[in-house]
Amino acid sequence: MTEQELRRNRQACFEGLARVVAEPLHRYLLRRTNPDLVDDVLSDTMLVLWRRIDDVPGLGAGATPDPDDVLPWCYGVARGCLANARRADGRRLRLVERLIRTQQHPPPTTVEHSDLHAALDRLGELDREVVRLWAWEGLAPRQIAEATGLTSNAVNMRLHRVKKKLAAQLQLTRKNAGRPGHKPDEGRSSQ
């Protein structure tokens, strides 16, 4: 058999299987999960069936497979896909909860370094990324170059320029803030 004939045979086999199992699998999933999730899980199930078409028991070369032979195995696949979807949904919910908690209680480093974050926000996106990769991730310029698609020389020049720019912005911010620990008009008489 040629490769094209094998592909056509595989496709015909899957189409016959899909005609037999799609509706029962849809009903199976409707009884077990949220209606909004059914179509996604059914799609995942059909994808697994396509990938594992050679593993489906009772699926012969005949045009229409016997539902009694193929459905139990297909229900097992749908059950696994549903479990995967539920785990993914649980991970998403935990992530959302963690993000909400983080927003409610900002980490103390954010408050202590608000002037640094403000200065970083004034940089361009690529400059910000280069600085973060260097300072926060501890990457060397050649590693930053690999991550960003720049040359090592370009990264070195950007780092040099951006560090000077950040230092100037932070110095200006501190100068405008007055003496540390004092309000600008503190200690002056209003008369």
Q: pLDDT 10s per residue in the chain (191 long)?
A: 799 998 998 999 999 999 999 999 999 999 999 999 999 999 999 999 999 999 998 887 666 888 888 999 999 999 999 999 999 999 999 999 888 887 766 555 544 667 778 888 888 888 888 888 888 788 889 888 888 889 999 999 999 999 898 888 888 877 776 555 555 555 545 44
pLDDT for the residue 22: 96
pLDDT for the residue 87: 95
- What is the Cα–Cα distance from 174 to 27, expressed in whole angstroms? 66
Helix (H, G, I), strand (E, B) or coil at 124: coil
On whether the pTM is more than 0.75, the answer is: no
pLDDT for the residue 110: 45
Can you say whether the dihedral through the CA atoms of 21, 23, 24, 30 is positive or negative?
positive
CA 94 distance to own-chain centroid: 14
Looking at domain 3-104, its CATH class is: mainly alpha
**Domain locations in the chain?**
3-104, 108-177
- 159 CB-near residues (< 8 Å, 6+ apart): 130, 131, 134, 141, 144
- What is the Cα–Cα distance from 121 to 179, expressed in whole angstroms? 24
Q: What is the CA radius of gyration of the chain?
A: 30
How long a stretch of residues is the chain?
A: 191
Return the CATH architecture of domain 108-177: Orthogonal Bundle (1.10)
Q: Which runs of consecutive H residues, i.e. helices, occur in the chain?
A: 3-30, 35-51, 67-104, 108-112, 114-121, 125-135, 141-148, 152-177
- 175 CB-near residues (< 8 Å, 6+ apart): none
